[in-house]
Structure 1
């Protein structure tokens, strides 16, 4: 058969290594191991940015840039620039006309001067009355035409971005083309409302009028979105002015559209856009305080950008239910912050996607959860932290050194026996085959196989009892307890796989905790420290492993205040009742008869707690540790390793 090879183009490279999200998971682990939920930890990671990638910005950095840009726009934007310019040109034209009339001694000049004196102070009505005025001054006529041209360009630019440049040179043919464009646009929107629009219709429209739409929309929906956001910003501009300014500028706009023959088409377009995008902030005022006046088109652009930045700020905060990075508009990020910000956002999105795709996170009924794979990784992180604080000389973990079926390699090999699970020594096995048969090819038989000899360890049944009561949260010790449980779970799984470990949480009642529950575990907001029930469950675990060495570790910040009654209902009393103490100590005595030493790690210095644990130590022979929260993991792991060495 012949094979042909070519470059792969269909999608992502199937042979590319998977995206490395381990550092991101470790970054989440810092928050999870401190007591945060997986969802809060992920949000915190995305806000801070990716660990090990200082050139990539997090959501907080992007959010700061958006807020800074909003402040700049508000502090440098003044919305009445067109109105101010129109008034100046109007006053200039009237002054030029008066200068022309003043030397004329005839009554016609005085009549014209009276007409000019009677002009209203409102610029819109003044322009409207002067529309039919026969100017005597050529300079005044030119200034007034400059005013009308300014209004025409600014009004159209406020609705169609870039139109001001297209109409820079007064040309009746250009205005006629604008009228035809608006008519065709409204007709296209009407056909779309009836379900008759096609992409071919849009392509023909853009081919004819594409130079009037510099944002290059690809379809009608994108065009509607661009026009609607600009129209809404124009409405917000009027709403942001004083009532007098609003009335005056609205009058100028309406007069300009009437003169240009665009009033009806603009009304149709405005109605269609507002009906299609009612979600936009039509007519909502915007507070700006700049000193530099802007033309109407530029002011609308600034308000449009302010609205986009406001929406972008809301999306970047990610503080609403069900927030996802996919909610952030990539086009808005590009417009506001540039291409590099889009790359930063995509890097964050990739982390969020890959954490789920690679099996570290899962969503269960809308709730984000850590998978067992993620819990193992976080347990390893917690264990590394514990070992970082231990002396290297205190890390021993072996108790017997005869050849066996589990443990560390001894450097020796032996013949394979049925049921062996040790790694095969490939070199010794092949050598045996060569020596037996000689030559090539080498043929192996069962008698040739040798396995790596390992140290033998005695198995242990480990019970870690962790207090879940509300007082653990109040004292700030809950996060340390959870880190300790994760670290011990990881230690047993990695160094002592033959051990049987069970982690039991207890508050008003006790329950066995699965490894994948540990990272997302929260304290119980209930009253009660039911050590009695926890010891009952631990005893059952030890009884199921009668040949294992028993290891019982208790982490708590309070004396027992609850016990389990015969009907299975927990009973709480504070101060602790004598019945609770008696039943709890009875379980301690049972542990003693099982030869299980109970070591207690106290996270508080209460007198009643100290009296109780001293009694436990007297009855059982175990030890009592008064551990601070930041060294709890070190104490528990060290004690477990000591117990494994001495057994």
Structure 2
């Protein structure tokens, strides 16, 4: 029998991972848009903040900077110098031990020569280049210095070279020197603009073992080498002047062959000419106590550069930035696979929001919520309103009139329903429920009834206060959610009704839902209810065959009115002229058969006195809801007026 093993899926995104939750993301964006953000900034804020199941860009950036700080706090860059010093001390100790028992003058001269060595490590190593060691142990320690320097020098320019250079032979040294010479010839030809395709192919055939990155052409080879070489240069820049001078002098004796250091210097010069955009002058302060060798230091500097590049990608602050720009392989190297999963899901979320048509491009080039997105926000807002109404004990009006006509929708029958049955769906439900038994039977749970709506139409004007006090007292978002819920109810349940949204601050204007949702709060004095009621009356006259409904949401008494020339006159406290003009417009609406319902936010006694006057003159009513109950109050009043 075949045996199967199961493990973690490694090849790309998890195919069984749940899809991104667009509704949750859209609610977050909608909340920010209604709070005054632009759709673009709301989307960017969502990407920065993330979702309950996915870390955002801010969290990933915080982890990047934490890793960067950890590298700098943990390490220092004098590891190679320390290793050379230790090997030199071992050589001197072994040599002096071998000389001590010898009584001849040559032994004493050698001891004096060793005692007179310069204090600097590089100078002492240079002085001993021609020294004839008596101790085999001392000679081996000194040879290790030359090998170490060669390994570190090459590791700082070629990734993974250090392990490959263990137990070097003179033949290996010559092979590396030949590779370096061929490499510099290739780079010089490329720098002159020559076609290096064939030369690159020959080079990789001979020396490909030194390049685990497996570049496909000269450009990729230059990219890999330049990043490493620039990191090595930044490491040198980060050292003190003394450390830098010591290392430069030591590297001249790498593998005991000064030609190798010369080839490395030529390589750096060629790469700097080919990639001047690399960071060749930067530095980083290393303040830890764990020493790094030259190769390890270059690796650390490359890590720091990669972390900086990732931080820039996550910041998304450059023109045309997209989440697809994030280097997921680099992110996985630095923060692990979990961070890559989060970044990939954020990218999928951004892409789905655009591809699903929830965000669209406005004529001026800006992003805005699409009608589809507004419908989804409206569904959520209406659902919240219904839940709030249930909590307050309000009954859900399932029909708008006994003598109704079908809306095309059905619902399960409940006790007390008098609507006609939807026979096809009822029978279908019975068949599906009893299919497993082989005998169809009808049960009360199978019954569905046809929803109806009242034949009469309504012309609805919702006037919302957009003065600065609405923003200041945190009434801005509840006001917008109320408009969303009412718009959703009318466009889905009472599609023959005509809804007009009117905003009023210093002036009033008619707006569509997208404008209202995206409206930003601005510092503007004035509550021009007079102008708002004028526009509401104009809407009611355009639909004279419909039942008129006027709903006003405000938190302040009228402080402005419209003059004949179209200018707005503002004064606080309100002028008698402003109040008279506003009341006169209420009377004009009453003549059209409209009662004005006012939803008063706050506890202003002057406002309460004025809205009571409006209610008495128009036959309307005054509601003083809390912010959580505003939507339920407005929608409930609309349904009450419609039933009346």
Structure 1, 268-277 or 119-128: larger mean CA deviation: 268-277
What residue in structure 1 maps to residue 399 of structure 2? 398
Q: In 2 relative to 1, CA 198–601 (structure 1 residues): closer, same or farther, beyond 3 Å?
A: farther
Cα distance in 1 between the residues matched to 2:425 and 2:621 = 47
Q: Contact 1:238/1:250 (CA < 8 Å) preserved in 2?
A: no
What residue in structure 2 maps to residue 374 of structure 1? 373
Shift of 1:584: 2.0
What residue in structure 1 maps to residue 444 of structure 2? none
Q: Contact 2:490/2:499 (CA < 8 Å) preserved in 1?
A: yes
What residue in structure 1 maps to residue 592 of structure 2? 594
Q: Contact 1:397/1:644 (CA < 8 Å) preserved in 2?
A: no
Please give the residue correspondences for 1:116-265 in structure 2 after superposition, counting only pairs within 5 Å. 116-197=114-195, 201-256=199-254, 259-265=257-263
Cα distance in 2 between the residues matched to 1:475 and 1:382 = 21
Query: Residue 130 of structure 2 aligns to a residue in which SS?
Result: coil
What residue in structure 1 maps to residue 329 of structure 2? 331
Shift of 1:351: 1.6
Please give the residue correspondences for 1:280-319 in structure 2 after superposition, counting only pairs within 5 Å. 280-318=278-316
Shift of 1:205: 3.2
Query: Residue 615 of structure 2 aligns to a residue in which SS?
Result: helix
Q: In 2 relative to 1, CA 147–258 (structure 1 residues): closer, same or farther, beyond 3 Å?
A: closer
Q: Contact 1:408/1:455 (CA < 8 Å) preserved in 2?
A: no
Shift of 1:198: 5.2
Unmatched 5+ stretches in structure 2: 1-17, 411-417, 428-449
Cα distance in 2 between the residues matched to 1:265 and 1:577 = 89
- The answer to whether residue 484 in structure 2 is matched with residue 483 in structure 1 is no
What residue in structure 1 maps to residue 90 of structure 2? 92
Deviation digits for residues 358-397 of structure 1, max 9, x if unmatched?
2111244553321111111111111111112122752215
TM-score under structure 1 normalisation?
0.84
Shift of 1:320: 5.9
- The answer to whether residue 1 in structure 2 is matched with residue 29 in structure 1 is no
What residue in structure 2 maps to residue 635 of structure 1? 633
Cα distance in 2 between the residues matched to 1:22 and 1:610 = 39
Cα distance in 2 between the residues matched to 1:549 and 1:358 = 38
Please give the residue correspondences for 1:439-518 in structure 2 after superposition, counting only pairs within 5 Å. 454-518=452-516
Cα distance in 1 between the residues matched to 2:340 and 2:573 = 60
Cα distance in 1 between the residues matched to 2:577 and 2:40 = 42
Deviation digits for residues 376-424 of structure 1, max 9, x if unmatched?
11111111111121227522153433254757678669xxxxxxxxx99
Q: In 2 relative to 1, CA 372–22 (structure 1 residues): closer, same or farther, beyond 3 Å?
A: same
Shift of 1:633: 1.4
What residue in structure 1 maps to residue 384 of structure 2? 385
Shift of 1:264: 3.5
Cα distance in 2 between the residues matched to 1:23 and 1:196 = 56
Q: Contact 2:90/2:141 (CA < 8 Å) preserved in 1?
A: yes
Cα distance in 2 between the residues matched to 1:181 and 1:519 = 66
Q: In 2 relative to 1, CA 257–142 (structure 1 residues): closer, same or farther, beyond 3 Å?
A: closer
Cα distance in 2 between the residues matched to 1:358 and 1:528 = 40
What residue in structure 2 maps to residue 622 of structure 1? 620
Query: Residue 599 of structure 1 aligns to a residue in which SS?
Result: strand
Q: In 2 relative to 1, CA 165–507 (structure 1 residues): closer, same or farther, beyond 3 Å?
A: same
Cα distance in 1 between the residues matched to 2:296 and 2:218 = 25
What residue in structure 2 maps to residue 38 of structure 1? 39
Q: In 2 relative to 1, CA 477–19 (structure 1 residues): closer, same or farther, beyond 3 Å?
A: closer
Query: Residue 150 of structure 1 aligns to a residue in which SS?
Result: helix
What residue in structure 2 maps to residue 442 of structure 1? none
Q: In 2 relative to 1, CA 537–188 (structure 1 residues): closer, same or farther, beyond 3 Å?
A: farther
Query: Residue 354 of structure 2 aligns to a residue in which SS?
Result: helix
Shift of 1:323: 4.0
What residue in structure 1 maps to residue 604 of structure 2? 606
Cα distance in 1 between the residues matched to 2:571 and 2:187 = 73
Shift of 1:475: 1.2
Cα distance in 2 between the residues matched to 1:188 and 1:628 = 77
Q: Contact 1:477/1:629 (CA < 8 Å) preserved in 2?
A: yes
Q: In 2 relative to 1, CA 278–367 (structure 1 residues): closer, same or farther, beyond 3 Å?
A: farther
Cα distance in 2 between the residues matched to 1:560 and 1:207 = 86
Unmatched 5+ stretches in structure 1: 1-16, 414-422, 429-451
Q: In 2 relative to 1, CA 238–589 (structure 1 residues): closer, same or farther, beyond 3 Å?
A: same
Shift of 1:164: 1.0
Q: In 2 relative to 1, CA 187–643 (structure 1 residues): closer, same or farther, beyond 3 Å?
A: farther
What residue in structure 1 maps to residue 6 of structure 2? none
Shift of 1:338: 3.6
Query: Residue 257 of structure 2 aligns to a residue in which SS?
Result: helix
Shift of 1:580: 2.3
Shift of 1:254: 4.0
Shift of 1:161: 1.1
Q: Contact 1:466/1:481 (CA < 8 Å) preserved in 2?
A: yes
Cα distance in 2 between the residues matched to 1:453 and 1:341 = 50
Structure 1, 179-188 or 155-164: larger mean CA deviation: 179-188
What residue in structure 1 maps to residue 343 of structure 2? 345
Cα distance in 1 between the residues matched to 2:43 and 2:594 = 41
Q: Contact 1:38/1:370 (CA < 8 Å) preserved in 2?
A: yes
Cα distance in 2 between the residues matched to 1:72 and 1:115 = 45
Cα distance in 2 between the residues matched to 1:528 and 1:310 = 49
